[in-house]
Amino acid sequence: MGFDTVALVIVPLQTLMSLFLIFCNVLIISRWDAMAITSKIFFGFWAPMGPIITAFLLGQCARVHSISHGALKSMKQRRNWGNRKENKLMIQFVESCKPMSIGYGIRKSSIVNFFKLIARGTFKALKLIN
């Protein structure tokens, strides 16, 4: 699976995960007394672990982006690749490259925004229900 395919899938998956986590939080807060023990265990597991897993995956995507950005910077600083023809070809190659990003160029601030989205969505849903 190439990065172009992942880019098309990561945004809808992040949206679905956000909605599922907001659903878990609202259900736990509003219906705790009426839920069966298996439901309490299931939603009680996903409420904290879902954001942790998603934050880990977003962090890995941000790490790939920053490492590839640093690698391109170091390649652009190097100007001696061998003989004159190889040097010319490598300079053209390095100038044509762009940093690798999984999805839409996820940065570390995307993780904080994800947690803000979950908290804000939970409170808005609770406000809407009550």
Q: Each residue of 60-99: pLDDT tens digit?
A: 877 877 787 777 777 777 777 778 888 888 888 877 777 6
In the chain, where are the structural domains located?
3-129
Q: What is the C-alpha separation between 109 and 71, in angstroms, rounded?
A: 21
Provide the pLDDT for residue 1: 46
Q: What is the C-alpha separation between 122 and 20, in angstroms, rounded?
A: 11
User: pLDDT of 25-66, one tens digit each?
Assistant: 888 888 889 989 999 999 889 988 988 888 888 788 778 777
Residue 19, pLDDT above cutoff 50: yes
